[in-house]
Structure 1
Amino acid sequence: MRIAYAVMGYGRGHAMRTAAVLPALERDHDVRVFAGRDAHDMLARDHDSVEIPVIGYQYGSNGRICPRRTMLRNAPLVADLLAAGPRTRAVWQQMADFAPDIVISDSETYGHRFARHHGIPRIGFDHVGIMAYCHCDFAPGDAFAGIRDGLGYRAFMGDPDRVIVSSFYPARPRRDTVQMVGPILREPVRTATPTRGERVLVYLNKGAHQYTAALDTALRACGEDVIVYGTARRGKSANLEFKAPSQQGFIDDLAAAKAVVSTAGNQLLSEAVYLGKPVLALPEDAVEQRLNAQAIVSMGVGASAPLHKLSLTCLGAFLENADTHARATTGHRSDGLADATAALRRHIHTLSRRPRPAPGAIARLTGAY
């Protein structure tokens, strides 16, 4: 069986989830990854990966997500995608050359649309789909925005034949073709031995924009030794140590951390809770991240604070309660990898036996079929 695995390239969480399930799929199938920027850089070392365009957030001079810049930067890509323009046709042709029997997509729209227009069975496997395919307990004031983002997600991704949603917190699926599984953990995380160290681990998914003067001030004054990942800085400065990206190095530091301060992506929060670490979640200006941060608070495993308004008072209060939050993680540690790989195998087997419809009108119009 030939499987095209399409991966959203904004940040590394999508790539981490993909890296965890690829070994099981590659043992039984011929798999080619089609990934945007960050995900391709991470996956290409160990897997057959092709780089494709990515639609992602853009930031303003204040370090916050800028809707205007995001819209202007992505408008040409979105227009090309919706009209099946030359960039989209080029991506589709790369996928068509591989001739997949199944498409799996982790929040990646080119793969979904290629499969839909070419009559190829598709499986959606990610976390963001929780807003589109499940009933969510949104943060106060986010109900409308959550519905909006869920509809926007479905507008780009469509309705796959099967959906697997991975999350460290539960949600009720809206239909029978949607399955919830626990967090997808990388093998080095699953086998790590957590210890209670003395240093605080800070991770920012886009530190060039998110590591603000206010955050720097709070970290320097918190009275703890701090390791920082996600910025371009390197080396030690007072109580801070800035480190370069390193998968194993990061996992070692995570396993030995006293506490974690991080942007609120599902993947890292899942790994931190699994390793018993209290978390101060700093959500970006995005509904999904606020949803994740709210789960951290409601589970009792940490606290939440605005990314760009973190104060020393808030950081200090979190660190004072770190032991209590750490104890609460014992009731919330989960590993959904086995359930996810079993579901993928089951769906691949079921969908591969269905008659394949003829390519759609757009596929015929563009010739990429």
Structure 2
Amino acid sequence: MRIAYGVMGYGRGHAMRTLSVLPALCAEHEVTVFAGGDAYEVLAPRFATVRIPCIAYQYNQAGTHSIPKTVAHNFAPMRDLLFRGQGSALVEREFRSRGIELVISDSEAWTHRAAQRLKLPRLSFDHIGVIAYCKPHFPPDLWATGMRDAWGYRQLMGVPERILVSSFYKAEPAYPQVRIVGPMMRDEVLRARPREGDYLLAYFNKGDHQYLPQVDRALRLLDCKVIVYGTSLRGEDENLEFRAPSVAGFVADLAGCRAVLSTAGNQLIGEAIELGKPLLALPEQAFEQRLNAHLIERLGIGQRAELMRLTPSDVDRFLGSYDWYRSNLSGVARERYPGDGRAQAVQILLEDIEALRPRRRAACRSRRAQAVAVALPQGSRRSTTQPSPSRR
């Protein structure tokens, strides 16, 4: 079956989740990836990938999301998406030329919209579905924001025929076609052998905006080594070591660290839990990350702090509860943790693809039958369900 796989390009988490299931899907089907931004850079060297527009947050000098800059930056792509501009036309043209029969989307709006217009069956596979397609489970201070974001996401993406949600915590589906699995573990993570090292691992998904002076100061005042990913800095400086992006290198450092300081993306949280690493979550302003940080504390596997106001005391308080977090990671939190969801996700995706395939073929047969009926002269048309008179 010819499948389009749309991947949201902001950050690397969407691409990492996609990488975990694409090889299995490609072994069974002809898959073309549609991605922009960071996801394109990750996926294009490995898979047939079409570059498409991408919506992304923009930052101010304080390292926070800038509403004016974000609106200005995304005005053109949103106009393209909503009013079928050049990017939308490109996606539809590629769908037609490649004979796309089904679309899988990881929070990617252009492929969702093109599938709706071309009446192609859709599969949604992401983490944000835990907000949009599951029953609300938001704390009081985030309730209004969560309900708003859930509504907005459904307006942008719709409600697909099948919905698969990957999450490090369990939630209750709000639609009958929703199924939930654990986070996607890459081969590198499953092969890793966790050990308790003497250093901390720090990761910032947009480090050049988020690695602020107060963050640098808090890390330098620690009496242990810190390996930092996500910035443009390189090399060792006092107790800090700044490293370049590397899938294998990052997983090795994650497996060997004592604990993780990071923005609160679902993918890294799942990998840290899998390897038994407590987390100090520094969420971005986005609702999903704020909810993830709340649930880290609720599970007792880490602490949340404000990225913009991080102090050495925050890190010291986190490390002071290290043993308790570690015990929860192997105890009650482990019982609530859904575990590696990759094998289950692949099985569900393949089953859903097969379930949607007959519907598409039946529609094609119906259209072909209608085209033949229109093409036949009026007197020669006959029922396609009855044998011709000469064969009775």
Task: Give the shorter-chain TM-score range.
Answer: over 0.9
Q: Which residue of 1 aligns with 2:172?
A: 172
Kindly indicate whether structure 1 or structure 2 has the higher relative contact order, using CA contacts under 8 Å at least 6 residues apart: 1
Aligned residues: 358
Assess if the C-alpha contact under 8 Å between 1:92 and 1:110 holds in 2.
Answer: no
In structure 1, distance between residues paired with 2:143 and 2:269: 22
Mapped pair 1:185 → 2:185: yes
Q: Which residue of 1 aligns with 2:353?
A: 348
What is the CA deviation profile of residues 119-154 of structure 1, one whole-angstrom value per residue up to 9, with x for unaligned ones?
110100000111110123223311111011111111
Q: Which residue of 2 aligns with 1:362?
A: none
* Residue ranges of structure 2 left out of the alignment (5+ in a row): 365-392
Q: Which residue of 2 aligns with 1:277?
A: 277
In structure 2, distance between residues paired with 1:328 and 1:46: 38
The worse-fitting range, judged by mean Cα deviation, of 93-102 and 5-14 is: 93-102
Assess if the C-alpha contact under 8 Å between 1:276 and 1:327 holds in 2.
Answer: no
Q: Which residue of 2 aligns with 1:19?
A: 19
Assess if the C-alpha contact under 8 Å between 2:166 and 2:183 holds in 1.
Answer: yes
In structure 2, distance between residues paired with 1:139 and 1:307: 20
Mapped pair 1:336 → 2:336: no
Q: Which residue of 2 aligns with 1:88?
A: 88
Assess if the C-alpha contact under 8 Å between 2:52 and 2:87 holds in 1.
Answer: no
TM-superposed deviation, 1:81: 1.0
Q: Which residue of 2 aligns with 1:363?
A: none
SS in 1 for 2:31: strand
What is the CA deviation profile of residues 93-134 of structure 1, one whole-angstrom value per residue up to 9, with x for unaligned ones?
123222211100000001101111101101000001111101
Residue 314 of structure 2 aligns with an amino acid whose one-letter code is C
Q: Which residue of 1 aligns with 2:163?
A: 163
Q: CA RMSD in A?
A: 1.2
TM-superposed deviation, 1:86: 2.2
What is the CA deviation profile of residues 203-255 of structure 1, one whole-angstrom value per residue up to 9, with x for unaligned ones?
00000100000000000002110000000000000000000000000000000
Residue 54 of structure 2 aligns with an amino acid whose one-letter code is V
Q: Which residue of 2 aligns with 1:326?
A: 326
Residue 234 of structure 1 aligns with an amino acid whose one-letter code is R
Mapped pair 1:101 → 2:101: yes
Q: Which residue of 1 aligns with 2:372?
A: none
Provide the TM-score with structure 2 as the length reference. 0.89
TM-superposed deviation, 1:357: 5.6
The worse-fitting range, judged by mean Cα deviation, of 101-110 and 77-86 is: 77-86
Counterparts of residues 221-300 of structure 1 (less than 5 Å): 221-300=221-300
In structure 2, distance between residues paired with 1:234 and 1:26: 36
Mapped pair 1:58 → 2:63: no
Percent of matched pairs sharing the same residue? 47
Counterparts of residues 358-369 of structure 1 (less than 5 Å): none
Q: Which one has the largest radius of gyration?
A: 2
What is the CA deviation profile of residues 262-284 of structure 1, one whole-angstrom value per residue up to 9, with x for unaligned ones?
00000001101110000001000
Provide the TM-score with structure 1 as the length reference. 0.95
Residue 63 of structure 1 aligns with an amino acid whose one-letter code is G
Counterparts of residues 138-153 of structure 1 (less than 5 Å): 138-153=138-153
Assess if the C-alpha contact under 8 Å between 1:137 and 1:291 holds in 2.
Answer: no
In structure 1, distance between residues paired with 2:116 and 2:177: 17
Residue 111 of structure 1 aligns with an amino acid whose one-letter code is T
SS in 1 for 2:120: coil
What is the CA deviation profile of residues 129-182 of structure 1, one whole-angstrom value per residue up to 9, with x for unaligned ones?
111101232233111110111111111111111100100001110011011111
SS in 2 for 1:124: strand
Q: Which residue of 2 aligns with 1:366?
A: none
Residue 298 of structure 1 aligns with an amino acid whose one-letter code is R
Deviating above 3 A after TM superposition, structure 1's stretches of 4 or more consecutive aligned residues are 355-358
Q: Which residue of 2 aligns with 1:39?
A: 39
* Residue ranges of structure 1 left out of the alignment (5+ in a row): 359-369
What is the CA deviation profile of residues 167-198 of structure 1, one whole-angstrom value per residue up to 9, with x for unaligned ones?
00011100110111111111111121101001
SS in 1 for 2:141: coil
Residue 353 of structure 2 aligns with an amino acid whose one-letter code is I
